[in-house]
């Protein structure tokens, strides 16, 4: 659905959403659904659940548009990343982590069978080890490596300073290097 | 820890796979929102801020008004100690005298 408001920035759309504009909401959802889905997927490793969580986050925004405070929240995406991460963490606390689907085609289909097997093992192990990291280290990795946020943006999203974020990433990578020695 | 290992780990982290989302996810969210009413209740602080914004008072005015309100509160809550001891005793005496008037 073309909403026709690509020229409006997120803050302008949010102001319109606060006035009840469905069109502004549609534009915002179309603009950002994919990136927040990717983030949610990192936590839950399941498409349906990740989609449900992203839907839940957007619908909460629609139902409570006053939760967005332009004077307090510098950037919509920074603020909304935090909402999605919190929903994912809440979900994880309530449910047991889902094991990776054994049939899930993790490898690139163009690889040879051996390469594909190794790649699959690497990816499974990586996901398993990332899932075992402390919550904040995991979030730092997800924001910096998967969402492509700068360290500064990721630090703002997590509500920590830059040095703390760098330290979280360093500790996470040290742990992963240690646990994935055989594959590196 | 070698640089090569670092690079490989970084590459692995960047190549993590994500299952593609359903094509209609955004549409589903938009359609669902159309059936939901908005809750326009503002948080107290935001409501107050908007209320004050209506009056467009400069900051010094808030200080003056706050000082006045504080003064009134302090004034009312402080017991009146201006009356002298003599006056107190006179009024007590006249009260007792009034009691002695024959019926």
- CATH code, residues A100-184: 1.10.10.10
Chain B residues touching residue A176 (CB < 8 angstroms): 9, 13
Q: Read off the pLDDT band of B51 (50, 70, 90).
A: confident
Which residue intervals of chain A are DSSP H helices?
10-18, 22-44, 47-63, 76-94, 113-132, 135-141, 151-158, 162-179
- Check pLDDT > 90 for residue B49: no
Residue of chain B minimizing CA distance to A124: B16
**Residue B20, min C-alpha distance to chain A (Å):** 8
Q: Read off the pLDDT band of B5 (50, 70, 90).
A: confident
In sequence order, what DSSP letters do the residues of A6-59 get, joined into one string?
A: TTS-HHHHHHHHHTT-HHHHHHHHHHHHHHHHHHHHHHH--HHHHHHHHHHHHH
Which residues in chain A show pLDDT less than 50?
Answer: 103, 107
Q: Read off the pLDDT band of B87 (50, 70, 90).
A: low
Contact B17, A109 (CB under 8 A): no
Please determine, for the modelled complex, whether the ipTM score is greater than 0.85.
no
| Cβ-based contacts under 8 A for chains A and B | 104
Chain A residues touching residue B32 (CB < 8 angstroms): 55, 59
Chain B residues touching residue A106 (CB < 8 angstroms): 17
d(CA A175, CA A181): 10
H or E element that contains B14 = helix B3-14
Rounded to 5°, angle at Cα A77 from A154 and A84: 80
- Check pLDDT > 70 for residue B35: yes
Among A48-52, A116-120, B3-7, B42-46, the range of highest mean pLDDT: A48-52
Looking at per-residue pLDDT, the higher value among B99 and B5 belongs to: B5
Domain ranges for chain A: 9-98, 100-184
CB contact under 8 A, B38 and A37: no
Chain B residues touching residue A69 (CB < 8 angstroms): 46
Res B25: pLDDT: 94
Res A64: pLDDT: 92
B77 interfaces chain A, CB cutoff of 8 Å: no
Res A98: pLDDT: 53
Res B1: pLDDT: 52
Nearest by CB to A66, from B4, B8, B42: name it.
B42
CB contact under 8 A, B46 and A66: yes
pLDDT > 70: percent of chain B: 66
Q: Read off the pLDDT band of B97 (50, 70, 90).
A: low
- Integer distance in angstroms from the first to the last C-alpha of chain B? 110
Res B93: pLDDT: 66
Res A4: pLDDT: 65
Res A63: pLDDT: 95
Mean pLDDT of B67-84: 82
pTM to 2 decimal places? 0.68
Q: How high is the mean pLDDT of chain B?
A: 78
Looking at per-residue pLDDT, the higher value among B40 and B85 belongs to: B40
Chain B residues touching residue A41 (CB < 8 angstroms): 18-19
pLDDT > 90: percent of chain B: 23
In eight-state DSSP terms, residue B100 is H
- CATH code, residues A9-98: 1.10.1740.10
């Amino acid at each position: 659905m073309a909403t026709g408001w690509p020229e409006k920035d997120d803050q302008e759309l949010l102001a319109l959403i606060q006035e009840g504009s469905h069109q502004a909401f549609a534009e915002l959802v179309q603009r950002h659904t994919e990136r927040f889905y990717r983030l949610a997927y990192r936590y839950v490793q399941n498409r349906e659940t990740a989609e449900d969580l992203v839907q839940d986050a957007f619908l909460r925004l629609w139902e409570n548009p006053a939760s967005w405070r332009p004077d307090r929240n510098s950037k919509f995406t920074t603020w909304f990343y935090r909402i999605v991460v919190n929903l994912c963490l809440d979900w994880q606390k309530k449910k047991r982590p889902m094991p990776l689907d054994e049939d899930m085609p993790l490898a690139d289909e163009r690889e040879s069978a051996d390469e594909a097997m190794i790649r699959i093992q690497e990816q499974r192990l990586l996901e398993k080890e990332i899932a075992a990291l402390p919550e904040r280290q995991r979030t730092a990795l997800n924001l910096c490596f998967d969402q492509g946020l700068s360290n500064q943006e990721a630090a703002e999203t997590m509500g920590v300073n830059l040095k703390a974020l760098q330290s979280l990433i360093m500790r996470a990578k040290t742990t992963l290097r240690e646990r994935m020695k055989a594959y590196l | 820890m070698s640089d090569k290992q670092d690079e490989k780990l970084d590459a692995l982290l960047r190549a993590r796979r994500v299952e593609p989302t359903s094509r209609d996810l955004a549409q589903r969210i938009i359609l669902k929102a159309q059936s939901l009413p908005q809750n326009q209740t503002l948080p107290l602080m935001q409501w107050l801020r908007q209320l004050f914004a209506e009056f467009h008072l400069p900051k010094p005015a808030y200080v003056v008004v706050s000082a006045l309100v504080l003064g009134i509160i302090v004034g009312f809550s402080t017991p009146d100690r201006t009356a002298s001891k003599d006056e107190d005793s006179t009024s007590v005496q006249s009260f007792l005298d009034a009691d002695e008037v024959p019926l």
